[in-house]
Amino acid sequence: MDTDYDVIIAGAGVAGMVTATSTAKHSDGNLRILVIDRNSRDEAGKKTSSGWVCGDAVSKNSLDYLEREVGVRYGKPEVEKAVRGVVAYSPDHQSKAMFEGEGYVLNRKLLPQRQLKDAEKLGVQFLFDTYAEALLANNGSITGVHCRSAKDNSSLKKTSKMVVDATGSASRLRTNLPIESHIEKEIDKENDMESTGRYIIKFEAGKKDSTFFDPDYCIIHLDQKIAPGGYAWVFPKGEDKMNIGLGVQKRLLERRNRELGKKDTLQSLINEYVQTNPVIRTWKPSESMEDKGNEKGNWQVPVRRQNDCMVANGYMIVGDAAWMPRPIDAGGIGPAIYASTIAGKVVAETLEAKDTSERALWKFNTEYVRAYGYRMASSEILRRFLQILSNEDLNYGMKHFLGQDDVDSITRREHPEFKGVSPGNLTRIIWALPRLALARGLRYTAQKSMRLIQHYMNYPNTPDGFEEWHAKFTAELREAYDKFS
């Protein structure tokens, strides 16, 4: 059947742009690739009406991977600031975990313009000011997209041999997928979504305190009073410029308000967090052109493992549409780069082979799981455990139970073993006595996480074994959910 395009990619955010560029690269420019985005060309990849709202941080490893696999290297002005690592502080600021590892803080407004140029050089076409509203299907396979113009509300159809969905966590395409598949259509909004927000500000310095701002490190504050169920952050964009914000779980914010007799909202918590930072004497939203329209914003982030299946006949999900942000820190740029690079390779291969069935596309599941995704279920369990801890538990745990081995594991995106609470460690057993429930919880989390990693490493190579694999996996997961509930 003749189609308008070989592949349509819905969404021009990080995942959509990288998928398009990777597909073009790995097909030697021989495919007809269309990217559809609801925004105008000048505002490509804009996430919400508030702008390109994001924490903006990405590891050097992720950008190195993109350069190695796709031949694209980002630089100034889209790379705004280099950092040496991440430092996480306990609620009392008496303990810290320093995660060394080079990274960058990006300018998310400028990045899509760079990505647009990279993609167009390789022959990728774009259709802006257009909503991808529904998927077209025929004989159990996706065959294109039904679109609506953002300018005049007119309808149009674009056909293709397959569609890649990069339209975000609330994707209507995924939710209304019109064919049978193993893809989960809905996320658990109560437990697996975080409400987040941030400012990009310029400030005059007040008191010097590296626990509140360090131009060389991204700072994370763990505090259930400031950011219940999430964390607060200060990411440097210069000596006098920062991305500052926080994320919360709605249910835990409501519980915190009841306990404290308050009526705080996400925005009031963010405002208080900025106002009480002693390093900031005076501040105002950034007024530079590269930040215009992006100085302040809120957004919703999925914080579970990726969708356990990300392909169907003629259809693939990537980025936030596949719930890829890391559960432990909600970082989405790195996972999107890895996944979309792999997606582009698989799309090019399957189109060349003239087979875009679920079975042919299954390689995307297995390749991403083995390269990056196998760790995410364990991070989800650790995140759920940390969310139930009090500030007192966080202070004690970071001081007495978090070892350098654990920090190094987290830096490598691996799950910490928390050997400090192992039964054979007599010194740690003594330290554990005042917080025995905490020690037992950490030990259970470490053991459960290892089982989940092992199970995910046995991800089926074809769709045939998926249902049996998934049933065993979800049973392991539910056991931990019940324990932490």
Which segments within 166-240 are labelled E, that is strand? 193-205, 217-221, 232-238
Any idea which residue has 């530079």 for tokens? 288
Instruction: Please tell me the predicted confidence (pLDDT) of residue 414.
Output: 61
Instruction: Please tell me the predicted confidence (pLDDT) of residue 442.
Output: 87
Q: What is the Cα–Cα distance from 270 to 385, expressed in whole angstroms?
A: 24
The amino acid at 446: A
Based on DSSP, count helices (H) and strands (E) in the chain, helices before strands. Answer: 15, 17
Q: Which whole-number Å values give the CA distances from 30 to 231, 378, 412, in the listed order? A: 45, 40, 37
The amino acid at 373: G
The CATH architecture of the domain made up of 190-301 is: 2-Layer Sandwich (3.30)
As given in the structure block, the two tokens for residue 269 are: 């918590």
Please, how many CA atoms are within 13 Å of residue 257, restricted to the half-sphere of its CB? 14
Q: Which residue stretches of the chain have pLDDT < 70? A: 403-434
Instruction: Please tell me the predicted confidence (pLDDT) of residue 429.
Output: 44
Query: Using one digit for the tens of pLDDT, what is the confidence trace for 136-172?
Result: 999 999 999 999 999 999 999 999 999 999 999 999 9
Instruction: Please tell me the predicted confidence (pLDDT) of residue 98.
Output: 86
Q: What is the Cα–Cα distance from 106 to 17, expressed in whole angstroms?
A: 16
Instruction: Please tell me the predicted confidence (pLDDT) of residue 149.
Output: 97
Q: What is the Cα–Cα distance from 245 to 258, expressed in whole angstroms?
A: 23
3-state secondary structure 130-181: EEEEEEEEECCEEEEEEEEECCCCCEEEEEEEEEEECCCCCCHHHHCCCCCC
Instruction: Please tell me the predicted confidence (pLDDT) of residue 304.
Output: 97
CATH 3.30.9.10 in the chain, residues? 190-301
Q: Which whole-number Å values give the CA distances from 240 to 77, 104, 106, 217, 318, in the listed order? A: 17, 16, 16, 14, 35
Instruction: Please tell me the predicted confidence (pLDDT) of residue 440.
Output: 87
CATH 3.50.50.60 in the chain, residues? 5-55+108-187+304-371
Q: What is the CATH number of domain 5-55+108-187+304-371?
A: 3.50.50.60
Residue 147: closest CA among 226, 34, 228: 34
Instruction: Please tell me the predicted confidence (pLDDT) of residue 437.
Output: 84
Instruction: Please tell me the predicted confidence (pLDDT) of residue 427.
Output: 45
Any idea which residue has 């470490």 for tokens? 446
Question: For the purposes of burial, counting CB atoms within 10 Å of the CB of 271, is it exposed (0-12), middle (13-18) or buried (19 or more)?
Answer: middle
DSSP string, 105-122: EE-TTTHHHHHHHHHHHT
Contact at 8 Å (CB) between 156 and 191? Answer: no
Instruction: Please tell me the predicted confidence (pLDDT) of residue 438.
Output: 86
Instruction: Please tell me the predicted confidence (pLDDT) of residue 430.
Output: 43
As given in the structure block, the two tokens for residue 357 are: 């069935």
Query: Phi, psi (5° rounding) for residue 123?
Result: 95, 5
Q: How many CB atoms lie within 10 A of CB 427?
A: 9
Contact at 8 Å (CB) between 381 and 423? Answer: no
pTM for the model stands at: 0.94
Q: What is the Cα–Cα distance from 270 to 226, expressed in whole angstroms?
A: 8
Instruction: Please tell me the predicted confidence (pLDDT) of residue 420.
Output: 58
